[in-house]
Amino acid sequence: MHQVYQRRLTHSGSRFDHCEIGILRLRLLAGILFILILALPGRAQAPSAEEQQYLFSVLPLIERGDLTKAEDQIFAGLERYSRSAILYNALGIVYTRQNKLDKAATSFRRALEILPSFTAAQLQLAALDQRQGNKEEAVRLFRAAGDTTTNFEALVAAGLGLADCEDYAGAARVLEKAHEVKPDAESVTYNLALAQYKSGALTSALESLESITADRKPDVLYLRGKVLEGLGKPESISPIMAACGIQPGNDTFCADAAVNAIRQEKYLEAVAVLEPAIGKSSGSVALLSLLGLAQFRLGRYREAITSYTAALEKDPGVDASREGLGFLYYVTGNLEKARSIIEAGLKNPKADHYLAHLEAMVLYRASPRLRPQALDAVNRALQANAKFAPSYFLRGKIRMDQNDLSGALADFKRAVALDPKYPLPYYKMAQIYVRQGRAQEAAAARSTFSALGSRREEEILARQTQDILMPVSR
Amino acid sequence: MPTAMRWLPILSLTGLVCAVAFSDKWLVKFTDAAAKAGLPAVNISGSTTNKKYILEMNGSGLAFIDYNRDGYVDVFVVNGTRLEPSGEATRSTSHLYRNNRDGTFTDVTRDAGLDYSGWGQGACVGDFDNDGYDDLFVTYYGKNRFYHNNGNGTFTEIAEHAGVAGADGRWNSGCAFLDYDRDGKLDLFVANYVDLGLNFSNVPKPGSGEFCQYKGIPIACGPRGLPTAVNYLYHGNGDGTFTDVSEPSGIRKTEGHYALGVLTFDYDNDGWPDIYVACDSAASILYHNQHKGTFQDAGIASGLAYNEDGEAQAGMGVATLDYDHDGFLDVVKTNFSDDSPNVYHNNGDGTFSDQVFQAGLGRLRNLLGWGVIAADFDNDGWSDVLMVNGHLTPEIDSAKSDSSYRQPKLLYRNLRDGRFENVTSISGPALSTPHSSRGAATADLLNDGRLAILSNELHERPSLLIPEGPAANHWLGVQLIGAKSNRDGIGARVEIQSGALRQIDEVRSGGSYLSQSDLRLHFGLGAATRVDRMTVRWPSGAVDTLSAVPADRHIVIEEGTRSWRKPK
């Protein structure tokens, strides 16, 4: 069914592909192309009956894998029909199967010289070009084939070939033609919707999916969810959750379901999706981190610590798990543990900037005596990422404690310049202005602070962590 | 800005001196004696399982009051009611329990004339007419009740006559008597929580909006999303009536708050009482006394409005203590779960710094704090901190979070170096027994130097935590009787010195979460058998200085006498 046309990128434990959805593969395409061995454009001159008869005598040899004999027999045929495009095409197929790709390409090109709009040869050569990294030429040939043929299989092959070359708009156009030929072919409709989704034509993708019955079809449910998500519809969560429910061992479906639930602050749903998914799979770092995040947001700190610890044990090199665990220990007041977790990660010179920021937060909270170390840590965080407003806010606080009011003020101003909706720096700015006797500026800063709202820092931090952890966990 | 001199920074020296006598052993253990003592009445606060309105979740406070002036503090436990007729034969009332002086109590509610049923919230005590008998103010959702102590074991309700009843539909919360203009006549501050109005039909249903759920569970809405309320200041006229001065005093200038716990204290040592109000989900308020009958909100400027970074918290209860003995009163405030309480260190320059993590109180985020008491439970001369906790509604347990509906109390011992140690687990199982606690207060019930804790438990009888064994260390109880000042000496600042140990405290009405502790001051003295020097700064401005006051007793100091006497 639909699955055969798809390949999902395997979750490597760190990141998924941007879109998590792939389109058909070359092996399958080659199979289709073999079927299309005689696919010719409508207006092309048809090969003679003898030529065709001869070809049909060769095909069983190719199918059986008796390629040497097939090659010999084709050469014998070419002596008789020296300008036979279909025999050159067949020869190309034989060479392709023998992995003699240069010879194969030469054969397909010869077929196209003889019959320039020979669809099967166009598709075969395009597939070969694509396989050899010549994507531009492959796209040209797939498009040419798709534009000229009305053969359903050829259209499907051209559409999927274009999708493989990441020409999603082209793929959608060709698959649309295939869909018109066979509107009931659900696999084509699904791939059309997928190509539309990938080309950004979300509304069209949703319309295409309307004609497919999604019941118990996790791929279709998942795609529908992704399209709805792309359209900013909160109901996107339901089909993705359903997909995960049908295939709880599918990390992609379940991680995405959890991400959607967490984004919509439906933490109980996220946990309900993740726990069975982790039970079914071995529990990837992504799923465990997401579970930890949802548990944290539910106030299940002990469980969250367990989940993040498991994620970190699975792959100690993933900063996201370490940051999540460090942050949990930080907010639950176990600063010693937080510090040891974070500092272990900081031994890696490529550690994420947020880890250094977290270290600074921990040191700042742990003791006034550790202010110099906290300052050093936040400076390292800023070296790694000079555009992270909370680091300026934190450095401002440290400088304020050290009575460096002008330095603190500069940091708070930089923080709000980077993030104008960040309320907390205004509060500290107001305090500095009061200390400096700048009453009007203090009042203005207080007023801005009040207007922006005074959400709790840890709420803000939790969201920052969420924003940081979620993309990484995907 | 403060006008008074600041004590020299002697903390390190004091720490060294005290370190010699400091014992690592914490010997205080509490037993819940409520059942044996005769405090059986169960708290009523709406539905026990299915709370539709925030009014059902906040519970009530309580008060210690020596209503019959026998020298033994009695107990008043505020109670709520139900929204719908329960069908039960008895209606719920608050309860007054007379102290039998033997560790037991007798319910005298009806005889005292206090058997009123309503949505009782908080209580505060003050002898508003200076007749020698403490009066009782009880806040309600609806009109407040003001009980004038008749001096014969009964009270007369006078709220309407006195002008402090308020109006139906108001949600009055914390209260405190104070003499803000130092004219010798007690005034009254009443905080208000939510403008719930009379008709609950406008209140959204549980789960219906952003502010009507907790971790995915539908719960009663609020306070965010509901209209805020305004606070009231009533000026005592001295003739049994009060005048609402909320507008001219500047109290009304602060808006947009959900006010709960009220603390009166002189934070800047200028001799004038200020008012701090713990607010839920909004900036807390510090009404700074301007000395002219007016106040200005110094919450943000002082750092008491928010936590250290400027984040609003869900403030509930509030207490004050000078935990580092620097001569300035610090502030402890309880907050919602998934947050930390505040330990605001008074910097002595009109500002505070939240030192909760450095102080060691920031670790337990799963507890939702309400009542908070700062008192020296082991009499070592350094005030400890007790917090009582509990979540909003039993439905919380279905979230399976680390937080639960019933929660243990927390007792933090002052380590004398700016830090506290959690000694809950070694202070007897009564502290660790989970309840959904609300108001809490402390008193020396048997006048033996041992501080008991009373906690109002949602849908249960109260907990009365009595320390086992004799008092550890030496102590002194101080009752003030004003002459020119208000008779209770509310607002008076007492400073004592015993050896190297210097302490301050003030006589205070209200506090904690909608509660009233013993009006008498309690000082632990550690190994010292006497107070070398005691200074009483009265609200009138008079100062009495005493010396060589022997320890381990309650004393009475009358304004202007410069001497102490035994209680009558």
Over residues A184-194, the pLDDT tens digits come to: 898 899 999 99
Residues in chain B: 568
Our CA dihedral for A300, A303, A308, A313, rounded to 10 degrees, sits at 170
| Average pLDDT of the residues in B77-89 | 77
Residue B309 binned pLDDT confidence (cut-offs 50, 70, 90):
confident
Tell if the CB–CB gap between A456 and B312 is shorter than 8 Å.
Answer: yes
Q: Which B-chain residues 375-404 have CB contacts (< 8 A) with chain A?
A: 399-403
For residues A244 and A259, the answer to whether their CB atoms sit within 8 Å is: no
**Which one has a higher pLDDT value, A30 or A266?**
A266
CA quadruple B538, B544, B545, B548: dihedral sign: negative
Facing A424 at nearest CB: one of B309, B340, B362: B309
Residue A12 confidence (pLDDT): 26
**B301/A434 Cβ within 8 A:** yes
Task: Determine the residue of chain B that is closest to A332 in CA distance.
Answer: B363
pLDDT tens-place string over residues B431-464: 999 999 999 999 999 999 999 999 999 999 999 9
Of B300, B364, B402, the CB nearest to A300: B402
Nearest CA in chain B to A454: B311
> Which residues on neighbouring strands pair with residue B287, listed in sequence order?
B275, B297
Amino acid in the structure at residue A192: L
Q: What is the largest CA-CA distance in chain A?
A: 102
Do the chains contact at A428 and B309, CB–CB below 8 Å?
yes
Q: Which of B8, B19, B63 is nearest to B326 (CA)?
A: B8
Mean pLDDT check: name the lowest of A55-59, B183-187, B291-295, B324-328.
Answer: A55-59
Q: Which two tokens stand for residue B14?
A: 């004091």
Q: How confident is the model at residue A124 (pLDDT cuts 50, 70, 90)?
A: very high
pLDDT-derived band of residue B86, with 50, 70 and 90 as boundaries? low
Alpha carbons B148 and B125: distance in angstroms, whole number: 10
Reading the block at residue A31, the tokens are 């199979």
| Interchain pair B310, A423: CB under 8 A | yes
Q: What share of chain B is helix, strand, coil (3-state, %, to 5)?
A: 10, 35, 55
Whole-number average pLDDT of chain A:
85
Strands B420-422, B437-443: pairing is: unpaired
The reply to whether residue B310 touches residue A266, judged by beta carbons under 8 angstroms, is: no
B 266-285 near A (Cβ less than 8 A)? 283
A chain contacts of residue B357, beta-carbon cutoff 8 Å: 333, 335, 365-366
- CB–CB of B366 and A301 under 8 A? yes
Tell me which residue has tokens 């998914």: A277
Kindly tell me if the per-residue pLDDT of A25 is higher than 70: no
Assigned token pair, A32: 């289709």
Quick one: pLDDT at residue A251? 87
> How many residues comprise chain A?
474
Residue from the list B310, B311, B363 with its beta carbon closest to the beta carbon of A332: B363
Residues of chain B numbered 72-131 and touching chain A (CB < 8 Å) = none
Least confident of A150-154, A407-411, B96-100, B490-494: A150-154
Structure tokens at B429: 């199982």
pTM for the full predicted model: 0.80
Distance from CA of A283 to the nearest CA of B (A): 22
Q: At a CB cut-off of 8 Å and minimum separation 6, what does B89 contact? A: none
Return the minimum-mean-pLDDT range out of A101-115, A286-300, B522-536.
A286-300
Please provide residue B420's backbone torsions phi and psi, each rounded to the nearest 5 degrees. -125, 155
- Report the distance separating Cα B189 and Cα B245, nearest Å: 10
**Chain B: closest CA distance from residue A327 (Å):** 13
B202 touching chain A per CB within 8 A:
no
Q: For residue B120, what are the CA distances in angstroms to B47, B197, B220?
A: 15, 16, 19
- Percent residues over pLDDT 70 in chain A: 85
B407 to chain A: which residues are within 8 Å by CB? none
Residue B55 has pLDDT above 90, yes or no: yes
Contact B311 A426 (CB under 8 A): no
What's the Rg (C-alpha) of chain A? 30
Task: Examine the pLDDT at A136 and tell me if it is beyond 70.
Answer: yes
Helix count and strand count (H, E) for chain A:
26, 0
SS3 A185: coil
Contacts of A447 (CB under 8 A, 6+ apart): none
pLDDT at A5: 27
- Using CB atoms, which residue from B215, B339, B402 is nearest to A456? B339
Structure tokens at A452: 């922006």
Cβ–Cβ under 8 Å, residues A62 and A97: yes
Strand partners, B457: B437
Residues of A in contact with B351 (CB under 8 A): 431
pLDDT for position A44: 52
The pLDDT of residue A188 is: 92
Here the ipTM equals 0.78
Per-position DSSP letters for A384-403, written without gaps between them: H-TT-HHHHHHHHHHHHHTT
Nearest residue in chain B measured CA to CA from A437: B301
Give exposure, B148-166, as e/b (b: 16+ Cβ within 10 Å): bbeeebbbebbbeebbbbb
Name the nearest CA neighbour of B342 among B309, B390, B301, B298: B309
Separation of alpha carbons B390 and A185, rounded Å? 60
pLDDT at B198 (0 to 100)? 82
Taking CA atoms, what residue in A is nearest to B313?
A456
Cβ separation B357–A297 shorter than 8 A = no
The more confidently predicted of residues B245 and A3 is: B245
- CA–CA distance from B207 to each of A234, A459, B51 (Å)? 18, 21, 12
- Residue A52: other Cβ atoms inside 10 A: 14
| CA-based nearest residue in chain B for residue A460 | B311
Give the gap in angstroms from C-alpha A247 to the nearest C-alpha of chain B.
Answer: 25
Which stretch of DSSP H or E encloses residue A271? helix A267-280
Beta bridge partners of A268: none
Cis peptide before B223 (omega within 30 of 0): yes
Mean of per-residue pLDDT scores for chain B: 92
What pLDDT digit, counting tens, does each position of B215-249 carry? Answer: 878 899 989 889 999 999 999 999 999 999 999 99
- Tell me the C-alpha distance between B108 and B346, whole Å: 42
Nearest-Cα residue of chain B relative to residue A369: B358
B17 pLDDT tier (thresholds 50, 70, 90): very low
Q: What is the pLDDT of residue A45?
A: 57
* Whether A333 and B357 lie within 8 Å, measured CB to CB: yes
Chain centroid to Cα B182, Å, comes to 22
Percentages helix, strand, coil for chain A (3-state, rounded to 5) are: 75, 0, 25
Q: How many Å apart are CA A72 and CA B67, to the nearest integer? A: 117
The gap from C-alpha A325 to its chain's centroid, in whole angstroms, comes to 25
* Predicted confidence (pLDDT) at residue A467 exceeds the cutoff of 80: no
Report how far residue A154's alpha carbon sits from residue A37's, in angstroms, rounded to the nearest whole number. 10
Digit-coded pLDDT (tens) for B323-353: 999 999 999 999 999 889 999 999 999 999 9
Element (H or E) spanning B502, and its range? strand B501-506
Query: Which DSSP helix (H) or strand (E) runs through B242?
Result: strand B242-244
User: Which of B212, B224, B300 to mutate: most A Cβ within 10 Å?
Assistant: B300
Contact status of B558 with chain A (Cβ, < 8 Å)? no
Contact between chains at B310 and A454 (C-beta distance less than 8 A): yes
Q: Is the pLDDT of residue B485 over 80?
A: yes
Q: How confident is the model at residue A47 (pLDDT cuts 50, 70, 90)?
A: confident
More confident call, A212 vs B456: B456
Q: Is A155 exposed, middle or buried (0-12, 13-18, 19+ CB in 10 A)?
A: buried
Decide if A426 and B215 are in contact by the 8 Å CB cutoff. no
Tokens in use for A4?
Answer: 């055969």
Name the interface residues of A facing B (CB cutoff 8 Å).
Answer: 266-269, 297-302, 331-335, 365-368, 393, 397, 423-424, 426-428, 430-431, 434, 442, 446, 449, 454-460
Are A296 and A269 in contact, with CB atoms under 8 Å apart?
A: no
Which pLDDT band, with edges at 50, 70 and 90, does B2 fall under? Answer: very low
Chain B residues near residue A428 by CB distance under 8 angstroms: 309-310
Q: Is the pLDDT of residue A254 over 70?
A: yes
> Is the pLDDT at B499 greater than 90, yes or no?
yes
What are the residues whose beta carbons fall under 8 Å from the beta carbon of B172, sequence distance 6 or more? Answer: B121, B122, B139, B140, B141, B144, B166, B190, B191, B192, B193, B232
Express each pLDDT in A292-331 by its tens digit.
989 988 888 899 999 999 999 998 888 888 988 998 898 8
SS3 at position A226: helix
